[in-house]
Copies of this chain bind each other. A is one copy, B any other.
Amino acid sequence: MKIAYILFNEITLLDFIGIYDPIKNIKTKKYLIDLDWDLCATQKSIKDSFGLELVVDKVKPDLSSYDMIIVPGGYGTRALQYDQEFISWLQTAKNVEYIVSICTGSLLLGAAGFLKGKLATTNFNEYDSLDKYCREVVKDRIVEDHKTITAGAVASSLDLGLYICEKLIGKEKTEDIRKGMDYHPKEFHITVNNS
């Protein structure tokens, strides 16, 4: 299982780190040996809206070699969805098994055509912006449609991380990870369409 985290300027870092934490715990706890990831972007480092800078592992790699891409949100997505260079690069992931986004990351999936005919969600302020890209916007915290998995705003990243963990290592080990994170969310609804 090889994951590509798709990073960009003006990212919301909690969108990224909220899913990164539970997934990296799979490795910390040695629940899966064959798990790895790269931080991918169109440049060598990226900054959030306040200048916090992260170093990138791979600049514009061919994404077709990954098993999962994870696209966080942030203000940067508003312009990036119309950036042909970025979207063309993202489209190299079109045959990747799992296509995942948090918050407005779904706008980038949409612009790449990955949400055509699918159910999807996004930040609750951006339902209208997502609408043109998908079959139907579902106002849930997590929406899965044939391994295309989208989540709501920022902190839903933690829930999505645990949801991905459950797919990869099952319920019991995921529960261990949740306890280790000391994370106690209220219950929420998930929509899954595999028909």
Contact = CB atoms under 8 A, between A and B. Distances in A.
Interface of A: 12-14, 17-18, 20-21, 24, 27-28, 39, 45, 48-55, 57, 123-124, 141, 152-156, 158, 180-186, 188
A127 to B, nearest CB: 13
B182 A124 contact: yes
Which of A17, A156, A183 gathers most chain B CB within 10 Å?
A17
A122 to B, nearest CB: 11
Could you say how many copies of this chain the assembly holds? 2
A20 B18 CA distance: 12
Contacts of A185: 184-186
A141 B183 CA distance: 11
Contacts of A27: 50
A15 to B, nearest CB: 9
Contacts of A188: 184
Contacts of A52: 20, 39, 54-55
Contacts of A184: 155, 185-186, 188
Contact of A53 (B12, B55, B123, B180): B55
A168 to B, nearest CB: 16
- With most chain B CB atoms within 10 A of its CB, the pick from A18, A27, A28, A155 is A155
Contacts of A17: 13-14, 17-18
Nearest to A182: B153
